[in-house]
Structures are given as structure tokens and as C-alpha cells.
Structure 1
Amino acid sequence: MNVPRTEPRLRGAERTAPLSRTRADMFTRMLKLRLLNAVAPAYFFTATAVTFILHFCFFVPTIFPKPESSLRASTALHTVVFLFLMFNALGNYIMTIKYPAESANETAVPVCSPHCSDKVDAHYLLNGRHFCKLCKKVILKRDHHCFFTGNCIGNKNMRYFIMFCIYTSCTCLYSLVLGVAFLTVEYSISFENPLTFLTLLPLSTGFFFTGTISGLQLFVVLMLYVWLGIGLVCAGFCCQQVLLVARGQTWCQMQRGQLVENRSPWRTNLKDVFGTRWILGLILPVQTGEMCADETDAYKQD
């Protein structure tokens, strides 16, 4: 008599076991994302400070050691170019954080849409709106969550995020060129052969442990690969974002496989993001459009 009663209990336990494992996996993944959300900005500011110190304390004094008039002009030119790139990268970084893409009209968390694919970091609501679990806010026209800025990228800060990627890429690649020049002058390393750069890291690591080279040289070599990686990733990511903006599409929509029937031409889509004074926005981290646009524009995405 007791056997039929115990079978449903066992089946119920079997059903709750996968559910508990799924919740545990979701909690673990969410914890990793929160940790990344805290570590990434610290990594960005550390890399920025290291780049600044290497440039003014090692690269410029080594590449331009003599106080001649021609070298002074070259030193000033390189300093101005580096400070311009660094200023725009940090300025657009701050503007991306200063103008979040959150909705000012929604303070309570709306009910998740039945069309939501139950993403870990965000829930799709309706009308181009998402609830970000990391930001704990409703985001308008959400594209993605940027861990380096610690907030979501959407309709209000997309222009600053794209410019941040552009100038970060330029700063890293420019630092890469100066780092190669520093190694050439200071340690007489020739980069005429393309294989020199590819084999530089493993050879430098081996020479460091054998005591042949100093720790500074190994650190500069490591930073060369860091600058190259960040520069290429930011450049590729920037090209992707510009393409999505021109199509009037967001990364979230592309992930859902949603094709946007865009009625506006690509020029209009770019103007909506970069503003009417887009040329000024290319050289200075300032507002180039109206920041208080009607939030109903976000509803056109669905």
C-alpha cells in the first residue's frame, strides 16, 4: 500500500534535483559576472596608469635623450599626441558612466516577458527594454553590459562607448609603437624580421629566468602584447558596434535572432547616436546630441 505513495515522491525529487542544479549554476555564473564587473574597471585603471608611467618615465627620455631643438619638437609632438589620445579615452570612459542608458520612468522591476530566453545577466521585457541583473535597472535599447565601465550600454551612452573603444585602441597601438622603439634604442633589438615580435615573449621569458635580461625589459615586452591585444579587440569591437548602429540594431536583438525592419537610412541611424555635431564628438568627449530625448524612441525597436 505504501509503494504507490512513495513513487510520486521519488519522481518529485528527481524533478527538483535538476532545478536545484540549474539554480546553483545560475548563482555561480552570476557570482562570476559580479566579480568580473568589479575586477575589469580596476584592470583598466591599472593598465592606464602603467601606460602613462612607462611613456613619460622610460619611453620619451630614452627615445629623445638629447636636448636639441629638433628633438624637443619631436618630444613635444609625441607628448601632445599621447595626451590627446589618453584624454579622449578617459573622457569618453567617464561620459559612458555619467550618462547611463537606464529608464528614468521605471523604478520597480517589471514582469519578465514570456519571450525572454532567460539570460543570466539580463531579462528581456518588451519594447526594446531590458532589466539588467548586474545594474539592477531597466535599460532602454540595451546593447550589452560593459564590464570595463560597470554599466550597460544603450541609447544614451552608445556614442561615448564607441569613441571610448576608438581612442583606447589608438592609445594602445600608439604605445605599442613607442614600446618597440624603446626596446630598439635601449636594448638594440631589431624588429626588421617579423618573426622577432612573435618570438619576443617566449625568448624574453627564458632569458629572464636565466638572468640574462632585467625585469623591466620583460615587463615592457609583456605590455607590448597587452597593448596589441587590447588595441585589436577594441578596434574590432568598435567596427561591429558601428555596423550595428548603422543597421539600427542592437547586440541583444542580434543574439535573439531578431531582424529589425529598419525604416530609417543608415545616415539617420548614425546621426541618432553620434548627434548633429558629430565632428566635435570625434575630437572632444562632449555631448553631441540631445540627452533628454523622448523614451518612446526605444519602443520603435520592437
Structure 2
Amino acid sequence: MFTRMLKLRLLNSVAPAYFFMATAVTFVLHFCFFLPTLFPSPSASLRGSTTLHALVFLFLMFNALGNYAMTIRYPAESTGDTAVPVCSPHCSDKVDAHYLLNGRHFCKLCKKVILKRDHHCFFTGNCIGSKNMRYFIMFCIYTSCTCLYSLVLGVAFLTVEYSLSFENPLTFMTLLPLSIGYFFMGTISGLQLFVVLMLYVWLGIGLVSAGFCCQQVLLVARGQTWCQMQRGQLVENCSPWKSNLGDVFGTRWLLGLILPVQTVEMYSGDSDAAKQD
């Protein structure tokens, strides 16, 4: 158990560092390599295209980082609990949190009581629950869009700069192993290999974020959490899916789609803690 918790705490520190490093690298590649290479001419039309691509990228990245910050700013902890309550008789110690009574969990990593805990997000370093679920979902959406957008520009960069053709679907599948081999043979540059590696990083993060987002939206619509699903607990919430989504995304949900702002009323207390999980 000690070794497992040590690994989880290490991951809790490494994952945010990895996220910020990948973000910084993506910024540099976009503005120092992709855009100057794809739109080198000073003509008015290409300047407009450069500006458009830069604005789209900045919009996606702003929302991804903004919702990331909001996820951390509004933690899911239950402020009404000053001590850890007694565990439920159904509590399992096989995961990283104790299931408590009245819809609460005690996270061993955060060392806090979490209200309606869904899971612990290592990339943000805190738990996802009733107060920050909306920001986490929007973070996943915009992270996925940013990665897939970067993937498209990266493929275009390799096509223009190194005359690679991606007409054959197998090209992308064999690109990484061939690039590693050519790099050690001295045929390609380190920059080309690095861009190829980043293509696979963007693809992986983009697909994982998109899948995670779809899963979370489905759980929210059902009025269920990931912790409940892990325990095999049936949903007792009979509210319609529109009402469940409204509880998370708020009445100003449309504004929340384009800006990382607060769209739901924050709890003055943890009155919902009395609701059963």
C-alpha cells in the first residue's frame, strides 16, 4: 500500500509538469516553425491566414488553460467537514479514496473530504467533483481540440518542409519507427524527429481527452459519478438528463462554451452533502 501511494503521489507531481512542458513546446512549435513555414510570403492573403490560424490556436489554448485553472481554483472539497467522518460499511480500500457516508469521499492524495467525488485528476493535482466538473469537461474538450489542431498543422509542416506525403494511410502508422531509424542513420534532422514524436503525443492526448469528455458528459447526464460506477452502485437520481446537465453547466452554459468563466452558482455551504451518493 505504501509503495502504491508513493507512486500515486509521484504521478500527482509529474503529470502537471508534463502538461505545462507539452503546452510550452506546442506554443514554440506553432509560432516559431509551423506558421512561418506554412505562410512564409508577406502577401496580404497569407498574412490574413497566418493571423487566422494564430487566433484559432490562441483561442483553443486560452480556453484549455483557463478551464484548467478554474478546475484548480474551485476544488471539490467539502468545506463543512473539519474531520474525516466514519467510513461507510461498503467502503473499499482498494482505490485511492475512502467512500464516506452522505455522498462524500476522503481522498488519500488530497487529504480532504470531497463532495460527490468523481475521480482524482493527476494533471490538475486535485479531485473532480460537484464544484469543478464543468471546468474539467471543458478542459478536456479544448485540450482535445488543441491537440488535434496541432496535429493537422504538424502534418502540414512535415509535408511542406520535408516533402513528406500522407496520401497513403499507412504513412502515419510507420512514420515514427522509420523516423527513429533514419535519425540514427543521420538521414533526418533532430527537429524532424521531434515534430514526429509530438504528432503522436498530440494524437494520444487528443483522443484520450475526447474519450474522457464523452464519458464524463454521459455520467453527468445520468446523474452518476465514476466512483459510483466503480462500486457498481445503481443511479437513484431520477432527474431528467437536461436537469442533470443544467446542474453542472448552469443556465449560462453557452457562455461557458466559449469562455472559461463561472456559469453556476457556487455553494455557500455544502448543503448537498446530505444527498446520498
2:118 alignment partner in structure 1: 143
Confirm whether residue 185 of structure 1 aligns to residue 160 of structure 2.
Answer: yes
Q: Distance in 2 between matches of 1:194 and 1:220?
A: 19
Could you tell me the TM-score, scaled by structure 2's length? 0.98
2:132 alignment partner in structure 1: 157
Q: Which has the larger radius of gyration?
A: 1
Confirm whether residue 196 of structure 1 aligns to residue 163 of structure 2.
Answer: no
1:235 alignment partner in structure 2: 210
Q: Which amino acid aligns with 1:243?
A: L
Number of residue pairs matched by the alignment: 277
Q: In the alignment, which of 85, 102, 121 is matched to residue 127 of structure 1?
A: 102
Deviation at 1:299, TM superposition (A): 3.2
> Looking at both structures, which has the greater relative contact order when contacts are Cα pairs under 8 Å and sequence separation is at least 6?
2
Q: Which amino acid aligns with 2:247?
A: D
Q: In the alignment, which of 39, 43, 52 is matched to residue 68 of structure 1?
A: 43
Deviation at 1:298, TM superposition (A): 3.9
CA contact (8 A) 1:145 1:152 kept: yes
Q: Which amino acid aligns with 1:152?
A: C
Deviation at 1:293, TM superposition (A): 5.4
- Per-residue CA deviation, residues 81-109 of structure 1 (Å, 9 max, x unaligned), is 00000000000000000000001111212
Q: CA RMSD in A?
A: 0.9
CA contact (8 A) 1:141 1:301 kept: no
Q: Greater shift after overlay, 118-127 or 236-245? A: 118-127
Q: Distance in 1 between matches of 2:227 and 2:127?
A: 12
Q: Distance in 2 between matches of 1:293 and 1:76?
A: 43
Q: Distance in 1 between matches of 2:115 and 2:158?
A: 47
- Return closer, same or farther for 1:99/1:169 CA change in 2, 3 Å cut-off: same
Deviation at 1:294, TM superposition (A): 5.0
1:15 alignment partner in structure 2: none
Q: Distance in 1 between matches of 2:70 and 2:94?
A: 27
CA contact (8 A) 2:79 2:270 kept: no
Q: Distance in 2 between matches of 1:144 and 1:135?
A: 11
Q: Which amino acid aligns with 1:274?
A: F
2:248 alignment partner in structure 1: 273
CA contact (8 A) 1:112 1:124 kept: yes
Q: Distance in 2 between matches of 1:108 and 1:267?
A: 35
Deviation at 1:286, TM superposition (A): 0.2
Structure 2 spans left out of the alignment, 5+ residues? none
Q: Distance in 2 between matches of 1:227 and 1:200?
A: 15
Q: Distance in 1 between matches of 2:81 and 2:269?
A: 14
Q: Which amino acid aligns with 2:201?
A: V
SS in 2 for 1:109: coil
Q: Distance in 2 between matches of 1:83 and 1:55?
A: 10
Q: Which amino acid aligns with 2:275?
A: K
Residues 1-302 of structure 1: matches in 2 within 5 Å?
Answer: 26-292=1-267, 295-302=270-277
SS in 2 for 1:244: helix
Which aligned runs of 4 or more in structure 1 are off by greater than 6 angstroms?
Answer: none
